[in-house]
Amino acid sequence: MIKIHTEKAPAAVGPYSQAIVSNGMVYTSGQIAIDPTTNTVEAKTIEEQTEQVMKNLGAVLETAGSSFEKAVKTTCFLADMNDFAAFNEIYGRYFTSLPARSCVAVKTLPKGVLVEVEVIAESTL
């Protein structure tokens, strides 16, 4: 196993890694809308938060020898399913390879964010 860490995404806020590469696959931890330069949630709308989540995921995937195009499965968590259409529009710009996906509404997310996404993807590491 290879533990993945990049300064271009938020540091883990607990006893976990940003991602793990094992047997040619990368498993990311869920990414939320924390700006890694300030370590705070600055984005307020679902659109802004989704864009920040995608930036964070992109940085982790790149460090892990992967990319959005190599995604096999995503799991998406929304604080409000009424945000699904806005989230889905931005999600679709990044995950153009159409990986398998689950998307669920949850009661709350860390730091009061509106969205969290995790990815399983192929890796070259």
Among 103, 108, 111, 119, which one carries the catalytic annotation? 103
Helix (H, G, I), strand (E, B) or coil at 44: coil
Gap between the Cα atoms of 29 and 38, Å rounded: 20
Contact 114, 83 (CB under 8 A): yes
Q: Is 108 exposed, middle or buried (0-12, 13-18, 19+ CB in 10 A)?
A: exposed
Quick check: is 76 catalytic?
no
**Strands 34-35 and 40-41: what pairing?**
antiparallel
Tell me, what DSSP letter sits at residue 12?
P
Question: For residues 56 and 10, is the Cβ–Cβ distance under 8 A?
Answer: yes
Which residues are 2's β-sheet partners? Answer: 21
Q: Catalytic positions, please?
A: 103
